[in-house]
Amino acid sequence: MDRAPKVELRPLATEDRDRLRAWRNLPAVRRWMFTDHEIGEAEHAAWFAKTMAEPRPRHWIIVADGEPVGLIHLYDIDPVARRGTWGFYVADERMRGKGIGAAAHYAVIDKAFGEFDLHKLWSETVADNEAVIALHETFGFTREAVFREHMQKDGRWINVLGFGLLAGDWAARRGAVRDQLAARGFEV
């Protein structure tokens, strides 16, 4: 790909149900998830129905050049404490490593601190997910926690890292991140 793809977020829709289950069950996606079992139809249907019943969109399909390629979402939003958690994945392996995740991050972080009026955005990641750790740090997230042997994957205990980003941190870092993305050809 010679140019940066056009990256957009669109709210989750009914027609995404089967796609999301297929994506979530891809080994390359499950590798980084906290629950790495294969998701069955009933489990997925219950999650999807609950998600679609939320009063305002908090789950978006990442679209690159018109093609759905991943999911990004805000969850565990506490309107009193004004904090929430977020996560994402780019499921289409052809699109990984092209900056699509970074462009989607920018958009959802802006939503979190703008539209959702959060004070703090929180994320947890498997400690050996170097790409996501680097991305968090580029965006100004601070490593706030190490949860030692926090979960099991493939029969071994692994650490999980917690990252936080405050609204003020984002306000200070936003312009530099925007400029970095623009230098890579992304419209933000």
- Does residue 2 form part of some domain? no
CATH number at residue 45: 3.40.630.30
- Does residue 1 form part of some domain? no
Strand 156-166: give its sheet, edge to edge: 7-11, 59-64, 67-78, 83-90, 120-126, 156-166, 142-153
- Does residue 125 form part of some domain? yes
- Does residue 138 form part of some domain? yes
- Does residue 188 form part of some domain? no
- Does residue 126 form part of some domain? yes
| Sequential pLDDT tens for the chain (188 residues) | 467 889 999 999 999 999 999 999 988 888 888 777 889 999 999 999 999 988 777 999 999 999 999 999 999 999 999 999 999 999 988 888 889 999 999 999 999 999 999 999 999 999 999 989 999 999 999 999 999 999 988 888 999 999 999 999 999 999 999 999 999 999 88
pTM above 0.75, yes or no: yes
- Does residue 91 form part of some domain? yes
The beta strand positions in the chain, using DSSP E, are 7-11, 59-64, 67-78, 83-90, 120-126, 142-153, 156-166
- On whether the CB atoms of residues 65 and 6 are closer than 8 A, the answer is yes
Supply the pLDDT for residue 35. Answer: 77
- On whether the CB atoms of residues 126 and 96 are closer than 8 A, the answer is no
Supply the pLDDT for residue 1. Answer: 47
Q: Which residue has the tokens 């029969």?
A: 155
Supply the pLDDT for residue 16. Answer: 96
Domain that holds residue 70: 7-183
- Does residue 63 form part of some domain? yes
Please give the tally of structural domains in the chain: 1
Helices (H), ranges, 25-166: 27-30, 41-52, 100-113, 130-138
